[in-house]
Chain A
């Protein structure tokens, strides 16, 4: 049966460079000397560390707990001893550090106790919590926690579940090899996801430059006897693997600005994510390893099953990096980011380590002025006008850039690829986006500061007023009391000045004097009440001493002092 496929706007056809790394099966990687596992690997909150230096951990033991409403747990990739919990360099262009757990493997690679669930009998909420604690995140590159996406829309069921096996970036073949070798297991993960989402149909989109993968998945579907699941070969065109682009190609739905695909009954997951969901549900194994392509400037490009936290140079060494290697790129040549060092760890987002050299990736030709030819707009798969956004980003006119829907840009790099003036357009868009985010943060913090300042002023005013009211009320009460007393009669101990105690209503002067008298009387009473405090519960001896002293004092007070000399 032939399915009607749709086209997305734009796109490019770069050289795929995929055959080099697909000749060999996925290979295991020997244990490295130490694993550095960053705690913050996925979109969302920073997981908190659950282990301390010196602790012994088992393979699959949770070392970072999910924190906040959107966060995903992190696990030990092998058994060993925690050597350190400290900031370490992360695989990110910035060269910044993040809190990481350093594990020295003991070589036994022993699993800890694993929780298992039956996804058919477990309620969806518990299943989602289980996947969150199993650290399952989107392995396509965005590393969005999967449990948050495994919620059916408002209707309670999904129309189409799209599984993304397109893998459109040049050089990367990790999904291709995963589908070829583990199609049956991946399919079990897909069936579980379909059950959670109550999806009517499942479409697995695979670019037609991967016929082996398409065949393997189709065989697996036939063998499983599942209905409503279809592997579809789609035309090879970058970026067919973008979620919105793949949904467009397979279903014809164009997700508009500001809406989500779930609003249209479609949700999209990567094939690697499906496989890790299978591992989590079937064996209770959390996400501790992934398939990583090593390609580019190496003697033997191929795919490896790499433990999360393995230093990248440890993996690349197996493929034999050539002498002129000068950089590692995480991801592909279109969207990948240059890494600050060779020994940064493999993380959940690492689909490919692209080994670069000046010969393979020569420095870009000098940037020329934009001639507004519109090639970028023709190539843009998000239907944007990159030359306009470039103009406003370059002049730091961020408001205008946003008006041209800068935040719908998926940073696929098609515009930079086709630009005849060799302008690094995506760099400008990334710069603009992060500037706008920073401004928004500043704005919200200054708004908060304004509110707090105004509240403090309000509070101080209120306190002042409350104090004044309290004093006024007290004064009024005393005045009333005095007035009542003086009216009652002259035999008032508080009114010491006898002349003022008249039976008629007291004048203002009299009230004042009476108030002073009352205050003095009160003070006198208070003074009389205050006795030295350390005279209670004295022992008999001390009491005797005190009595003796008192007696002596009385005697000396009675007899006048005799002149001594």
Chain B
């Protein structure tokens, strides 16, 4: 009886020490869930979700403060991926945060731009180049289409142009499934 107790205690101590050591040795820095959620988000940094950027939104989702349906640029597919990752139910995109739009880039009307640099300061990814009293222009390849530059423009010279399909971005369509007449 006593031997059994001693043996069990010894085993418990050894295992406990092992677990304690492992928790120190293999400690996970930061929250890997946030990384995974951030990888799914489209990185437009538009703030439509109500958070200042994609990473804060990812953190909020991970801590349960935000719903998964607040990201219009990610669209339905993004919500589905988040639902899969987090094991939550799919939800339609929340309307108060915006609607899904085709991917666009900002275009500055060069005849109207007065060179005020307000859009440059607003751009989250530094995709607008220009200087005070100099014409500004958008680097189309870096623009995420977040629309944050539109509101600050005092002369309303920025518009969003949908990205046109070209030969490099063209995709084969999903093969049409023929509907057969029964009998």
Interface residues of A in 353-404 (CB under 8 A from B): 366-367
Residues of chain A lying within 8 A (CB to CB) of residue B174: 431
B31 to chain A, nearest CB (A): 17
B180 lies within 8 A of A452 (CB):
no
A95 nearest in chain B by CB position? B170
- Does B25 reach chain A (CB closer than 8 Å)? no
B172 lies within 8 A of A452 (CB):
no
- Does B114 reach chain A (CB closer than 8 Å)? no
A457 nearest in chain B by CB position? B53
Q: A366-B178, A456-B125 are in contact. Are A449 and B172 (CB under 8 A)?
A: no
Interface residues of A in 419-443 (CB under 8 A from B): 424, 427-428, 430-431, 433-435, 437-438, 441-442
A355–B124 Cα gap in the complex (Å)? 53
Q: Which of A96, A437, A447 contacts B167 (CB 8 A)?
A: A96
Interface residues of A in 281-328 (CB under 8 A from B): none
A449 lies within 8 A of B167 (CB):
no
Q: Which of A40, A366, A441 contacts B180 (CB 8 A)?
A: A366
B165 lies within 8 A of A452 (CB):
no
Q: Which of A98, A428, A448 contacts B142 (CB 8 A)?
A: A448
A366–B179 Cα gap in the complex (Å)? 8
A415–B178 Cα gap in the complex (Å)? 19
Interface residues of B in 119-171 (CB under 8 A from A): 124-127, 141-142, 144, 165-167, 169-171
Residues of chain A lying within 8 A (CB to CB) of residue B166: 96
- Does B104 reach chain A (CB closer than 8 Å)? no
B167 lies within 8 A of A453 (CB):
no
The B contact surface, by secondary structure, is: loop
A442 nearest in chain B by CB position? B42
Q: A428-B175, A431-B175, A449-B45 are in contact. Are A456 and B126 (CB under 8 A)?
A: yes
B178 to chain A, nearest CB (A): 5
- Does B4 reach chain A (CB closer than 8 Å)? no
B177 lies within 8 A of A434 (CB):
no
- Does A280 reach chain B (CB closer than 8 Å)? no
- Does B27 reach chain A (CB closer than 8 Å)? no
B167 to chain A, nearest CB (A): 5
A92 to chain B, nearest CB (A): 7
B146 to chain A, nearest CB (A): 9
Q: Which 9 pairs from chain A and chain B are nearest by CB?
A: A446-B43, A452-B125, A434-B171, A449-B43, A427-B175, A430-B172, A431-B172, A94-B170, A450-B43
Q: Which among A437, A438, A448, A452 has the highest number of chain B CB atoms within 10 Å?
A: A452
Q: A449-B142, A452-B142 are in contact. Are A435 and B171 (CB under 8 A)?
A: yes
B170 lies within 8 A of A453 (CB):
no
A25 to chain B, nearest CB (A): 35
B124 lies within 8 A of A456 (CB):
yes
- Does A90 reach chain B (CB closer than 8 Å)? yes
Interface residues of B in 10-50 (CB under 8 A from A): 38, 41-45
- Does A264 reach chain B (CB closer than 8 Å)? no
A438–B169 Cα gap in the complex (Å)? 7
B175 lies within 8 A of A424 (CB):
yes
- Does B54 reach chain A (CB closer than 8 Å)? yes
5 new A-B contacts at CB < 8 Å, known A94-B165, A449-B144: A424-B175, A428-B175, A442-B42, A446-B42, A456-B126
Residues of chain B lying within 8 A (CB to CB) of residue A442: 42
A96 nearest in chain B by CB position? B167
Residues of chain A lying within 8 A (CB to CB) of residue B126: 452, 455-456
A431 lies within 8 A of B170 (CB):
no
- Residues of B at the A interface (CB closer than 8 Å) are 38, 41-45, 53-54, 124-127, 141-142, 144, 165-167, 169-175, 177-178, 180
B90 to chain A, nearest CB (A): 16
Q: A431-B174, A434-B172 are in contact. Are A40 and B167 (CB under 8 A)?
A: yes
A366–B141 Cα gap in the complex (Å)? 43
12 chain-A/chain-B pairs, Cβ below 8 angstroms? A94-B165, A96-B167, A96-B170, A367-B178, A427-B175, A431-B171, A435-B171, A442-B42, A446-B41, A446-B144, A452-B127, A453-B125
Residues of chain A lying within 8 A (CB to CB) of residue B42: 442, 446
A456–B166 Cα gap in the complex (Å)? 30
A367 lies within 8 A of B142 (CB):
no
Q: A366-B180, A367-B178 are in contact. Are A453 and B172 (CB under 8 A)?
A: no
B175 nearest in chain A by CB position? A427
B176 to chain A, nearest CB (A): 9
Residues of chain B lying within 8 A (CB to CB) of residue A90: 167
A431–B141 Cα gap in the complex (Å)? 25
A434 lies within 8 A of B124 (CB):
no
B144 lies within 8 A of A434 (CB):
no
A237 to chain B, nearest CB (A): 27
B142 nearest in chain A by CB position? A452
Residues of chain B lying within 8 A (CB to CB) of residue A367: 177-178
Residues of chain A lying within 8 A (CB to CB) of residue B169: 438, 441
A453 lies within 8 A of B175 (CB):
no
Residues of chain B lying within 8 A (CB to CB) of residue A430: 172
Residues of chain A lying within 8 A (CB to CB) of residue B173: 431
Residues of chain B lying within 8 A (CB to CB) of residue A448: 142
Residues of chain A lying within 8 A (CB to CB) of residue B172: 427, 430-431, 433-434
Q: Which among B166, B175, B180 has the highest number of chain A CB atoms within 10 Å?
A: B175
Cβ contacts A336-367/B at 8 Å (1 or 0 each): 00000000000000000000000000000011
Q: Which of B45, B141, B165 contacts A453 (CB 8 A)?
A: B45
Residues of chain A lying within 8 A (CB to CB) of residue B54: 450, 453
B106 to chain A, nearest CB (A): 14
Residues of chain B lying within 8 A (CB to CB) of residue A445: 141, 144
Q: Which among A448, A453, A455 has the highest number of chain B CB atoms within 10 Å?
A: A453
A441–B125 Cα gap in the complex (Å)? 18
Q: Which of B38, B41, B142, B165 contacts A96 (CB 8 A)?
A: B165
A438 lies within 8 A of B171 (CB):
yes
Residues of chain B lying within 8 A (CB to CB) of residue A434: 170-172
